[in-house]
Amino acid sequence: MSKVQDATLAAITAASQLGEVTALVAGAGCDGAAQAAAQIAGVAKVLKADDAAYANALAENLAPLIAGLMADYDGFVAPATTTGKNVAPRVAALLDVMQVSDILSVEGPKTFTRPIYAGNAIATVESTDAKLVITVRGTAFAKADATGGSASIEAVSAGADSGLSTFVSAEIAKSERPELTSAKIIVSGGRALKDAATFEAIITPLADKLGAGIGASRAAVDAGYVPNDYQVGQTGKIVAPEVYIAVGISGAIQHLAGMKDSKGLFVSGSQMPRRLHPMQL
Amino acid sequence: LANVKMSMNPFDEIAVEEAIRLKEKGVVTEIVAISVGPQKAQETLRTALAMGADRAILVLCDDEVEPLAVAKIIKGIADEEAPGLIITGKQAIDDDSNQVGQMVAALLGRPQGTFANEVTVEGDSVVVKREIDGGLQTVKLALPAVVTTDLRLNEPRYASLPNIMKAKSKPLANKTPADYGVDTAARLKTLKVVEPAVRSAGIKVPDVDTLVAKLKEMGVA
C-alpha cells in the first residue's frame, strides 16, 4: 500500500472546502496509490491514469491529461510541492486561466489568501476565471484523514506520450529522518557551522535525540554542508513544525519566509540575531 | 513601493548569466533580453545588456501584469524570434507565483525544465538537472525548450563599468502588449493586502537547562 504524502492530504482538505473532491492518481503501476487515495476521508471518487507516460510525473504528459479532464470539473487543486509547482501552471495556461499559487486559506468559492514578498504580506485574491487552478501550501491546512474514506476507483484512458521530454535519472537523498515538511521538530543549521563535518557533528546528534528533521539555510547548502533539498526558505521548503531550532542562522528574510509559522522557535548563538529576536518563544 | 530600491529579480540574473555562459560555450548565437513593465524596466534590460545580452525588447505596460499575460507576451515574441531556448527565473521574489516559465512552455507546446540546477545543450536537445523535493532529477528535453533557473545554477557576474557604457548603445526595442494581441486585464482581483500576524515577543534563556525545561513544558522534548 502506498503512502499518500502529507502535502497531498493538506491539498485535499483545501479542496474539500470548495466542493466534492475527486482525486487523480496518474503514474506507471499506480494501483496501490489509487487504493490509498480511495481511503482518504473526503475523497468522493478516484480517477486512475495508469500508463508508462505518467511515470516520473513529467509535466508535458500530465498537463494535457489534467486539462482534458477539466471539462467536468470547476477546479484543479495541487499541493505546492516541486511536482505541483511544475505541472499546475502548465495546466492553467492550457485552460487559459490564472493560477492562484501557494494558498494559505479558502475565503470563499473563488477567494483565497496567499503570501507575497517572501511572506511579508498576505494578499486576498478573487479569481474571475471560469475554472480554478490552485496550489496549496501544505503547512497551512490540516491533513485529511488517510483512512475512513471509501471512494470508487475509475480508470481513465491515457493520452499519448508527448515525446517532448524524457526522464533520465534521479538522485534522491536517502534519509531515515522525518520528512522536513511534516516533521514536528526541525533542527536547522547555517553558515556559522563552518563546514560539513561540524554540521554533522553538531546538528545530527541533536536531531537524532529529538527525532527531528534536519534543515539548513541557503548559506549552508551553498557551502556544501548539506544537499539542496535541506534548504528552508522562500526558495526552499516551507515548514511549520512545533519547534524550529535555528543554530548559527542569522535570520535573513528569505530564510524566515520558510519557517516563521513554526509554533516554537529556538535560536542558538552567543549573539542573538536581531531579526530572529522578536520571534523567539 | 513608491520609494523602494528596485533591481533585477535574482532568479532572472541567474537566467541571464546562464544564457551568456551558453553563448561563451558556442552553443548560443544571440541573446535577447525581454521585460514587461513600465518605462523604468528599461534599466533592468540595460543591466542584462551590460552583463552580455545582445539586444533587448521592452514591452511597455503600466499596469501590473499577471503571469498568464506575461507568458502570452513571451509567446508572441517567441513566435517572431523563434528562439531555441527560453530561460526564465523560477519565480519573481515579489509575487512569488512561480508560473511564467511553465505557462510559456504550455502556450508554445514546448517541453519545460523547471528549477534547473544544471543545463547542458546536446545537439537538438537540452539536458536539465532539476532541483526537486528529495533531491535532483535529470530530464532530457527536445529543443526548442523552456528552462527556469534555480538558485544553484550559477553565480551571476557583475556588469563592469565599460560594459555598462557599451550597453547604452545596444539595441532596445519598445513594444506594447497590443503588438502581440495580448489583453493584460487582471484575472485575479486583489481584494486586500495585509501584514502577516505578528508573533508575540520571545524570551531569552540564560542556559541550556532552562531551555530544555521550557521545551519540556511545551511537551516536545
The predicted-structure confidence for B61-92, as pLDDT tens digits, reads as follows 988 899 999 999 999 999 999 999 999 999 99
**Chain A residues with CB-CB distance to B111 below 8 A:** 60, 162, 164-165
For all residues of chain B together, what is the average pLDDT? 92
Pick B98 or A3 by higher pLDDT. Answer: B98
What mean pLDDT is predicted for residues A265-280? 60
* A208 in contact with chain B, both atoms CB, cutoff 8 A: no
Pick B4 or B95 by higher pLDDT. Answer: B95
The pLDDT of residue A260 = 86
CA distance B98 to B11: 11
pLDDT interval class at B5 (50, 70, 90): confident
- For A176, the grid coordinates are 531515515
pLDDT interval class at B221 (50, 70, 90): low
3-state helix, strand, coil in chain A (%, to 5): 35, 30, 35
Pairing, β A185-189 against β A213-216:
parallel
Contacts of B105 (CB under 8 A, 6+ apart): A59, A60, A90, B111, B112, B145, B146
The predicted-structure confidence for A149-198, as pLDDT tens digits, reads as follows 999 999 998 888 889 999 999 998 777 888 888 888 999 999 999 899 99
Nearest-CA residue of chain B relative to A236? B133
Question: Considering CB atoms only, which of B101, B133, B199 is closest to A279?
Answer: B199
| Percentage, residues of chain A above pLDDT 90 | 69
The predicted-structure confidence for A89-128, as pLDDT tens digits, reads as follows 999 999 999 999 999 999 999 999 999 988 889 999 999 9
Quote the pTM value. Answer: 0.90
Given an 8 Å threshold on Cβ–Cβ distance, is A89 in contact with B67? Answer: yes
Nearest-CA residue of chain A relative to B155? A222
Question: Considering CB atoms only, which of B115, B191, B203 is closest to A126?
Answer: B191
* A221 in contact with chain B, both atoms CB, cutoff 8 A: yes
Given an 8 Å threshold on Cβ–Cβ distance, is A164 in contact with B218? Answer: no
What mean pLDDT is predicted for residues B131-151? 95
Cell 499541493, residue located: A79
The pLDDT of residue A275 = 56
**Chain A residues with CB-CB distance to B202 below 8 A:** 265, 277-281
CA distance B172 to B34: 9
CA distance B131 to A76: 24
Distance from the B170 Cα atom to the nearest Cα atom in chain A, whole angstroms: 32
Given an 8 Å threshold on Cβ–Cβ distance, is B204 in contact with A280? Answer: yes
| Percentage, residues of chain B above pLDDT 90 | 81
CB < 8 Å from B in window 247-276 of A? 260, 264-266, 272
**Chain A residues with CB-CB distance to B115 below 8 A:** 82, 86
User: Which of B1, B6, B91, B99 to mutate: most A Cβ within 10 Å?
Assistant: B99
Nearest-CA residue of chain B relative to A130? B187
Pairing, β A152-155 against β A213-216:
unpaired
